[in-house]
Amino acid sequence: MSWIDIGALNDIPLRGARRVKTPLGCIAVFRTDEAEVFATANACPHKGGPLSEGIVHGRKVTCPLHNWVFDLETGEAQGADEGRIATYPLRVEGGRLLLDPAVLGRRAA
C-alpha cells in the first residue's frame, strides 16, 4: 500500500499547521522548519482544542485553548500536564507531503 499524497509542502506556512480529515478524525500536519514536518492527532486530550491552530515553536505546539504544550516528535505533553497525542509518520518527497496510510486503517506495503 503506498503513502498518501495530501498536498504540497508549501501549502503549510513555515511554523504553521494544516488539518487533514480522515475517517478516524482530524489530523494536524505541522511544518516546524523549511523541510521538517510532523503529523499528530488534531484534538488536544485536555478539552479537544484544535492543535493545528496553535503556535508552533521549535518542535512543539501550544494548544490555542489552554496553552498545553506538546512535543511533536513524541506526542507527550510537556511540563505538569499529563497526556499524549497520537503521532503519525509523515515525509516530504519532491516537495509533496506523504502520509502513512495507517491513518485510513491500512498498512503501508
| Total Cβ atoms within 10 A of residue 16 | 16
How far is it, in rounded angstroms, from Cα 79 to Cα 101?
Answer: 32
CB of 24 to other proteins, least distance (A): 9
Contact pattern from residue 43 through residue 72 relative to other proteins, giving x for each residue in contact according to CB under 8 A and a dash for the rest: ----xxxx--xxxxxx-x-x-xxxx-x---
CA angle 54, 67, 7 (to 5 degrees): 15
Q: Considering the rule CB under 8 A, would residue 89 count as an interface residue with other proteins?
A: no
Cell matching residue 49: 482544542
| Residues found near other proteins in the complex (CB under 8 A) | 1, 4, 6-7, 11-16, 18-23, 26, 29, 47-50, 53-58, 60, 62, 64-67, 69, 78-81, 97, 103-106
